Structure 1
Amino acid sequence: MLRDASPIKTLLWRTFTPAIVVLAIGLGGLVYTRLYDTILDGFSRKLVTTSALTGALIDPADHDFLIQAASVRAPAESVEAMPQYLRNVEPMRRIREELDLTYLYTQVLGGLKDVIYILDSTVGDEHSLLGSEDELTEETRAGLRRTTEGGPIYVSPIEFQEQWGLLKTAAAPVKDRSGKIVATAGADVNISVIEVATQNALFASALIGLASLMASALVTFLIVRWVAAPIERLKAEALRIAAGDPAPPADTAAPKEVRRLRLALAELAARLTADMREAWSRTKAEDRQRDEALLTQSLPPAAPVVLTRDKVGAVVWRPSDDGLEARLEHRAMVVLAGRMADDPKLAGRWRDLAVARRGLVSAEAGA
C-alpha cells in the first residue's frame, strides 16, 4: 500500500531547510574566521608598532647603563630608583596603559636562562626587576635572536609561556650609543584580551549567521510561494476538471513550467468537454431511438380509421406509413372517432378536428 505523498510545500521546505542551515553556519563560520584573522592581524600590528616605538624612544646611553648594572648584578631596587631607569620606564607605562597591553619591557639575550629583563613597565606582583631572568619557548628565542642580528621585528603566534600564560608577543630592536642592536623591546598582550575581542567577533558572526538564516528563510518562503502555490492551484484545477467541471484553469502568474502544464490542462479540459458533449449527444440519440422503438412496439399498426359515417358516406383517415408518428396519429384518430360518435355536433366539424400529418382524411361516398 502506497503512503500518502507529502505536499509540495513540505517537500520544498525539506529540500531548502538543510541548505539554509548549512549556508548560515558556513557564512557565520567564514565571518568568524575572517574577523578572528583580522583581530589577530590588528593585535600584531599594534604590538609591532608599540615595540618599535618603544625601542626608538629609549635613550641608548641610559639603556647601556642599565644593561651594565644588570650584568654586574647591582641592587635592582636601587637602580630602578635612578633617573636613568625612571625617565625611560614612565613613558613605557603610559603607553602600556593607554594601549591596554599586558606587558611592555626591554630584554637582552643571555644570562643563566634565555633573557635578562632591563626595563619593565609592569607594576605590582608581576613586575620583573632589573636583571631578572626568564626562559622562553624555542620559537621566541630564535625570533629574538634574528631580530638582534638585524632581522625584522619578531611577532610570535599565541603561545604558552610557563610563567606568564598564553601571550602574543612582538619584539623590536633596541640600539646602543654606537647604533648596534644590543636588546629588544617586547610588547605582549594576554590571550584574555584577545578572547574578549574574539567573543565580540563570535557574537557578531552569530548575528550575521542569524541574519543570513532569516534572510535565506524569507527567500525560501518566497520561492515556495512562487513555486508551490501555482502547483497547488494547478492540482485543484485538475481535480475540478476531473470532477466534471469543464471550465479551463485560471490564468495566474506562475513559473514557465507551471504555465506549460496549465496550458496542457486547458487543452485536456477542452478535449474532455468536446468528448462529453459528443457522448451526451450520442447517448440522447440512442435513448431517443430506443424509446421510439419501445413505443412503436407498444402501439398497434396504423390502419384506416372511420371518423364518422352518415347516409351519404363516411369520413376516413388513411395512414401514409406505419411509423411511430403514424401509429400515434392512428391512436389519436381512434379517440377522435369515439368522441364524434358520442357527440354528433363534433362530427360536423371533422374538417377542423381531424388534422392529419401522417395520413389523409377524406370523405368517401358509400364507404
Structure 2
Amino acid sequence: MKLTFSFQTLIMSVLATVLTLATAFWALAVYDSIYRIILGGFDQKLQALAGGAAVLTDGDAHADYQRPHRISAICGGSRIWGFDEERDRFVEIDPAAGGALPLEPQPSPSPRPIAELACAVDDGRVLALDVDGALHWLLGEPLALREDLPPLSEIFHAQGSWWGRSGNRLHALLAEAPAETGDGSASEGPAVGSMESPGLVALGAAVDRLAFDADMRRLVGIGIEAGEVVELAPDGRMRRRFSIDLDGRRVQGLVVQGDQAYLASSGLLAVDLDSGELGAEPPPPGYFSESHPFIERYAPAYRHVRKVSGLTFLYTEQILAGDQLRYILDGSEGDDHTPPGYEDTIPEDSLQDLQAAQNQGRAYVSDIRQWEVWGLIKLAAEPIFASDGRVVALAGADVDIGVIRGKTRNALFAVLGVGVGLLLLAAWVSLRVSRSLTRPLREIKDAALRIAAGYFDRPPEARGRDEIAGLAGSLAALGTRLQGQERQSQAYQQTLVSGRMQMALEHALRDESALAASGLPFEPPADAASGLRASAVGDPRACLYWDARFSGEGLEPARDQARVLQLARSLLRRKPLATAQDLLFSAEPQLTCLLAWQAEEQTLRVRCRGSLRVERVDRDGSSATLKLADGMVLPLRGCTGLALPGGWTLALAPPVEEALP
C-alpha cells in the first residue's frame, strides 16, 4: 500500500505543477485580450447609444429649450410671474425649483420694452412700466390711473393697492380710493392699511428694489450696491437691515412671500427674512424647468435607456464659451441627477474634442478621462442637428471606470475559474488513474468486512479472469450462501414470535370475555373454547347475552368477539337496556341471538335471526323446551334456570317476596 500511495502522489504532483504553470500564462494572455475587447465594446456601445439619443431628440425643440430665460421683471403674490426678454413672453416661476413655464393666458404685448411689472395674481390683472416710464394694463380690466404721477422707477401691488416708487417715496397709482364690498373687504384702490397718508409714503432707507409682503405687514427692500436687505414698516419707518452677498449678481425684481424674499437674477435667488441668509444652493441660471413639456417628453426615455444599457450617464449638453458646458437633458436619478441648466467645467484634455464635435458635427469617443465632479469616465458625444442642419447640442453617453473594471474583473474571474477547473480536472484524472490500480483489492477488502458485519446486499464484482476476479467471485458466493441462511433463520424466528404473540392475545381475549360475564346470572360453559362464540356483559340486574358465529379460527374470531364486547359495554353505559340491545343487534350481523335480561321485571327480551330453542327449568324440577322468536319478551317468574345456546346457563333466584315463608 505504501508503494501505491507514493505512485499516486507522484502522478498528482507532476500533473498539478504542469497545469498550474500553463494556466497562469494562459490566464495572463486571455486577460489582456479580454480587456482590449471590453474597451472596444464599450467604445461601440457608447457611440451607438449616444447616436441613438441624438437621433431620438428633436433638435429644434432642444434649441428652443436650451436658450436661458432672461427675466427682466417679476411680480407676484401667491404666485410669481415674470417677463422673459429672450422669448418676449410672460412666464410663471416656480419658487421651489426656480424654473419658468409659459403663462397662460399671455398678457397683451407692451408697445415699449418692459422695465417693471406689478400684478394682482388672484384677480388676473397685470400692470407694466415701460422703459419710457409709461404705465400699461396688459391683463385684466384696466383701472383709472392718476395723471399727476412723477417719473417712477418701480411699481408693485399688495392687497388691492397699486403703488409706484419714485426715489424714496411711494405714490398711489389709482385715481380713486377703493370702495367697500359686501363682505367688508376693499376693492382695487390705493389705501395701505396703517399708513397715515394713503397717497404718499416716505421711505426710511434708500433701496434699489422694493416690495410689500402679501398682507402688507412690512416693506422689504434690496440695496444692490450696498449688499443689504432692509425691512420697513408700512408707513416707511426703518425696522431692521442685514447684509447679504449677491456676488456681483444683478437683481431684476423682488417678490415677498411670507418669510421668503425672491430676487430675479440670472436665476431665482431666495433670501430667508428670518435668518437673513441667502439660499445656500441657488438653482442653475437660466430658469430651466424640469416640468417643461420638452423635458417631460424625453427624460423618461433617457432614464429607461440608461438603466437597461447599464450606462452611468446619458444626457445632452451644450458647449459654451471658454471651457464651460451646460447640461440640458439628464437620464440620471437620485444624487447623480443634474438639473437642466447646470454648468460644468470641461477638462483640458477633452475641451478641443468636445468643441470640435459641436462645431464640426462629428462624433467623438474619448479614452478614460478624469472629470473633477464625475471622476474617471469614458464618454462619447454625438451632435444633435436642428432642421436647418445646425448642431445645437451634443448627446453624451458616459460609463464610469468602475463599470469597466468590474467587467474586466469578472472576465478575470472567469479565466481563473477555467484554470481552477482544469486543475481540478487534472486532480480528478490522476485520482482515477491511481484508483484504477488499487480499487479491485479495496473493493474485495470492503466486501469481506461487510459480509463479516452481516451486510450481504453489495457483493464484490468479479471483473476479468485473473486471480483477483476469482477471489471476488468466491467471496460473492460465500456472501450469497450466508445471506440465504440468514433469511431462513429470520423467517423461523418471525414465525415463532408471531405464534407466541397470537396465542397470548387469544388467551387475553378469552380472559376478557370471561371477566365480562363474571358475577352475572349467566354461567359460562364448562368448555372455555366456547367463550369465543358466546359472551355476556352488564350487571345482574340488566345484562346482555349473545351467541355469535364468527368465521375462522384463532386470532380473527377472538378479535371480533372483543370488538363486540367493547361495543356492548359502550351501549349499556349510554342507552337503556332495550335500546342498547337493538342497536347492538343491528350493528353486528354476525350475532345469531342477543338476549337482554331485566332482573327487576324477571323478563328476558329476545333478538335472534332464526328460531331459538332453550330449556326452561321450573321450581318443581320440571323442564320444558321453549322456542323463541325475534322480538319475544319471555316472563321468567317461577323459573329457576334457563339453558341457553353455546353451553351457557341462566341461573335465576326467586323474588324476595316469594322466598318468605
TM-score w.r.t. the length of structure 1 is: 0.51
| Residue equivalent to 1:128 | 338
State the AA in 1 paired with 2:355: R
| Residue equivalent to 1:138 | 348
| Residue equivalent to 1:95 | 305
Distance 2:361 2:322 in 1: 24
Deviations 1:155-211 (A, max 9, x none): 122222110112111111111231122321001112232233222211101012223
What is the alpha-carbon root mean square deviation over aligned residues?
3.4
1:110 alignment partner, one of 320, 330, 333: 320
Asked whether the equivalents of residues 70 and 118 of structure 1 are also in contact (C-alpha less than 8 Å), the reply is: no
Distance 1:210 1:151 in 2: 50
Against the structure 1 CA distance between its residues 116 and 218, is the aligned structure 2 distance closer, same or farther, given a 3 Å change threshold?
same
SS in structure 2 at match of 1:130: coil
Asked whether the equivalents of residues 20 and 217 of structure 1 are also in contact (C-alpha less than 8 Å), the reply is: no
Against the structure 1 CA distance between its residues 24 and 219, is the aligned structure 2 distance closer, same or farther, given a 3 Å change threshold?
farther
2:372 alignment partner, one of 162, 168, 188: 162
| Residue equivalent to 2:35 | 36
Asked whether the equivalents of residues 107 and 116 of structure 1 are also in contact (C-alpha less than 8 Å), the reply is: yes
Asked whether the equivalents of residues 106 and 119 of structure 1 are also in contact (C-alpha less than 8 Å), the reply is: yes
| Residue equivalent to 1:289 | none
**Greater shift after overlay, 61-70 or 168-177?**
61-70
Against the structure 1 CA distance between its residues 14 and 209, is the aligned structure 2 distance closer, same or farther, given a 3 Å change threshold?
closer
**Larger relative contact order, structure 1 or 2 (CA cutoff 8 Å, min sep 6):** 1
Against the structure 1 CA distance between its residues 90 and 149, is the aligned structure 2 distance closer, same or farther, given a 3 Å change threshold?
same
Alpha-carbon shift at residue 32 of structure 1 (Å): 1.7
SS in structure 2 at match of 1:157: strand
Distance 1:21 1:76 in 2: 63
Against the structure 1 CA distance between its residues 178 and 206, is the aligned structure 2 distance closer, same or farther, given a 3 Å change threshold?
same
Alpha-carbon shift at residue 219 of structure 1 (Å): 9.0
Alpha-carbon shift at residue 56 of structure 1 (Å): 0.6
SS in structure 2 at match of 1:128: coil
1:190 aligns with 2:400: yes
Alignment size in residue pairs:
219
**Greater shift after overlay, 164-173 or 88-97?**
88-97
| Residue equivalent to 2:186 | none
State the AA in 2 paired with 1:198: T
Asked whether the equivalents of residues 382 and 396 of structure 2 are also in contact (C-alpha less than 8 Å), the reply is: yes
Distance 1:129 1:111 in 2: 20
Write out aligned runs for 1:219-234 (5 A).
Answer: none
Please, which runs of 5 or more residues in structure 1 have no aligned partner? 1-6, 223-367
Alpha-carbon shift at residue 106 of structure 1 (Å): 0.9
Against the structure 1 CA distance between its residues 137 and 60, is the aligned structure 2 distance closer, same or farther, given a 3 Å change threshold?
same
Asked whether the equivalents of residues 69 and 287 of structure 2 are also in contact (C-alpha less than 8 Å), the reply is: no
Write out aligned runs for 1:273-288 (5 A).
Answer: none
SS in structure 2 at match of 1:61: helix
Distance 1:47 1:125 in 2: 22
| Residue equivalent to 1:176 | 386
Asked whether the equivalents of residues 167 and 190 of structure 1 are also in contact (C-alpha less than 8 Å), the reply is: yes
1:60 aligns with 2:59: yes
Against the structure 1 CA distance between its residues 113 and 131, is the aligned structure 2 distance closer, same or farther, given a 3 Å change threshold?
farther
Alpha-carbon shift at residue 27 of structure 1 (Å): 0.7
Asked whether the equivalents of residues 103 and 121 of structure 1 are also in contact (C-alpha less than 8 Å), the reply is: yes
1:49 aligns with 2:48: yes
Q: Which has the higher strand share?
A: 2
Asked whether the equivalents of residues 311 and 398 of structure 2 are also in contact (C-alpha less than 8 Å), the reply is: yes
Alpha-carbon shift at residue 8 of structure 1 (Å): 12
State the AA in 2 paired with 1:119: L
TM-score w.r.t. the length of structure 2 is: 0.30
SS in structure 2 at match of 1:89: helix
Write out aligned runs for 1:228-247 (5 A).
Answer: none
| Residue equivalent to 2:529 | none
Distance 2:317 2:69 in 1: 11
Alpha-carbon shift at residue 10 of structure 1 (Å): 10
Alpha-carbon shift at residue 146 of structure 1 (Å): 2.9
Against the structure 1 CA distance between its residues 212 and 30, is the aligned structure 2 distance closer, same or farther, given a 3 Å change threshold?
farther
State the AA in 2 paired with 1:123: E
Deviations 1:71-121 (A, max 9, x none): 975665653221122212222122112222211111121146431112222
Distance 2:18 2:352 in 1: 47
Against the structure 1 CA distance between its residues 136 and 212, is the aligned structure 2 distance closer, same or farther, given a 3 Å change threshold?
farther
Deviations 1:124-153 (A, max 9, x none): 332222222212223322221232243642
Asked whether the equivalents of residues 173 and 184 of structure 1 are also in contact (C-alpha less than 8 Å), the reply is: yes
Asked whether the equivalents of residues 327 and 341 of structure 2 are also in contact (C-alpha less than 8 Å), the reply is: yes
Deviations 1:275-295 (A, max 9, x none): xxxxxxxxxxxxxxxxxxxxx
Distance 2:346 2:382 in 1: 16
Against the structure 1 CA distance between its residues 9 and 92, is the aligned structure 2 distance closer, same or farther, given a 3 Å change threshold?
closer
Alpha-carbon shift at residue 39 of structure 1 (Å): 2.2
1:83 alignment partner, one of 293, 297, 306: 293
Q: Which has the higher helix share?
A: 1
SS in structure 1 at match of 2:67: helix
Distance 1:213 1:11 in 2: 15
| Residue equivalent to 1:26 | 25
1:203 aligns with 2:441: no
Distance 2:419 2:336 in 1: 41
Distance 1:88 1:10 in 2: 67
Please, which runs of 5 or more residues in structure 2 have no aligned partner? 1-5, 71-85, 87-265, 268-284, 433-661
Distance 1:128 1:83 in 2: 18
SS in structure 1 at match of 2:334: coil
Against the structure 1 CA distance between its residues 26 and 18, is the aligned structure 2 distance closer, same or farther, given a 3 Å change threshold?
same
Asked whether the equivalents of residues 59 and 88 of structure 1 are also in contact (C-alpha less than 8 Å), the reply is: no
Q: What is the percent sequence identity of the aligned residues?
A: 33
Asked whether the equivalents of residues 318 and 325 of structure 2 are also in contact (C-alpha less than 8 Å), the reply is: yes
Asked whether the equivalents of residues 384 and 395 of structure 2 are also in contact (C-alpha less than 8 Å), the reply is: yes
Against the structure 1 CA distance between its residues 56 and 195, is the aligned structure 2 distance closer, same or farther, given a 3 Å change threshold?
same
Deviations 1:238-291 (A, max 9, x none): xxxxxxxxxxxxxxxxxxxxxxxxxxxxxxxxxxxxxxxxxxxxxxxxxxxxxx
Distance 2:394 2:387 in 1: 15
Distance 2:9 2:298 in 1: 72
